[in-house]
């Protein structure tokens, strides 16, 4: 729980949904008495229908994909350093050799990197099959990072941090396409996730129980990026 600007207590992260469900369960039990629902120990893990993720009809040529990745890390990383180049290169290798083995989190971050690069690259228009291709990449990535896919998945280190990486990239993408209000919305979601992880404290004490992974040791740059978004000091990465 956190205090807002008016000193009111508010829930963040998974506590929000848990507290609401707990209130519903107590209200039903008080009104109608005990039942299978109120006695269910797994009441906080009720299944939800997953959203339909758009499919990719066609993809970029390998050479174009490689050049866009290079563009991203040459021009964007200095502003928002939350993605590991080696991890993206490994995802690209898997895409080229066995795309069916690419996991959802890796696919999400990979698509967002390409979407941001397409949004900012002022050069070869042949990079994209259409001006809307970057939005198609974003829509697929957003579907992969939907809360119903990431909720209750904190047993692994990467399950905790990749949604935060994705939300920060989504916010930056929206800034890149001049949609500031939408960028702030994604930034707000990222900040709430960061607070839930304890990143605002300046260390990783909240997630030390997870296996160390150099690819994801990016909490301090993430914190700095979120502070930049909160202040509204969006500056050009060039």
Q: What is the pLDDT of residue 190?
A: 86
Q: What is the DSSP string of 38-70?
A: HH-TTGGG---PPPPPPP-S----HHHHHHHHH
Residue with tokens 């900012």: 120
φ and ψ at residue 185, rounded to 5 degrees: -65, -45
Half-sphere exposure of 73 (CA within 13 A, CB side): 13
Q: What is the pLDDT of residue 58?
A: 62
Sign (positive or negative) of CA dihedral 44, 143, 90, 79? negative
Tokens of 49: 């229908």
**Dist CA 83 CA 162 (whole Å):** 10
The pTM assigned to this predicted structure is 0.64
Q: What is the pLDDT of residue 60?
A: 79
pLDDT tens for the chain, 238 residues long, are 455 455 555 555 455 556 666 777 788 888 888 887 777 766 555 555 555 555 555 677 888 888 899 999 988 888 888 888 899 999 988 888 888 888 888 999 999 999 999 998 876 545 556 778 889 899 999 988 876 555 444 434 344 578 888 999 999 999 998 898 889 988 888 888 887 777 766 654 444 433 333 444 444 444 454 455 545 444 444 4
Q: Where are the domains of the chain?
A: 2-45, 62-231
């Amino acid at each position: 729980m956190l205090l807002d600007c008016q000193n009111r207590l508010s829930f963040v992260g998974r506590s929000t949904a848990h507290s609401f469900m707990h209130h519903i369960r107590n209200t039903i039990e008080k009104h109608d008495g005990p039942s299978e629902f109120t006695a269910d120990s797994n009441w906080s893990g009720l299944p939800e229908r997953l959203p339909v993720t758009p499919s990719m009809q066609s993809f970029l040529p390998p050479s174009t994909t490689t050049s866009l990745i290079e563009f991203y890390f040459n021009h964007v990383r200095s502003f928002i350093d939350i993605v590991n180049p080696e991890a993206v290169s490994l995802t690209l290798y898997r895409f080229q050799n066995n795309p069916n083995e690419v996991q959802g989190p890796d696919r999400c971050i990979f698509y967002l990197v390409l979407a941001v690069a397409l949004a900012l690259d002022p050069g070869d228009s042949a990079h994209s099959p259409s001006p809307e291709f970057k939005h198609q990449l974003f829509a697929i990535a957003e579907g992969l990072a939907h809360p119903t896919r990431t909720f209750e998945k904190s047993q692994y280190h990467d399950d905790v941090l990749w949604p935060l990486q994705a939300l920060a990239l989504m916010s930056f993408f929206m800034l890149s396409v001049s949609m500031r209000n939408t960028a702030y919305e994604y930034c707000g979601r990222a900040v709430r996730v960061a607070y839930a992880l304890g990143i605002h404290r300046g260390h990783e004490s909240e997630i030390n129980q997870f296996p160390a992974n150099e690819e994801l040791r990016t909490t301090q740059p993430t914190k700095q990026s979120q502070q930049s978004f909160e202040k509204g000091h969006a500056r050009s990465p060039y």
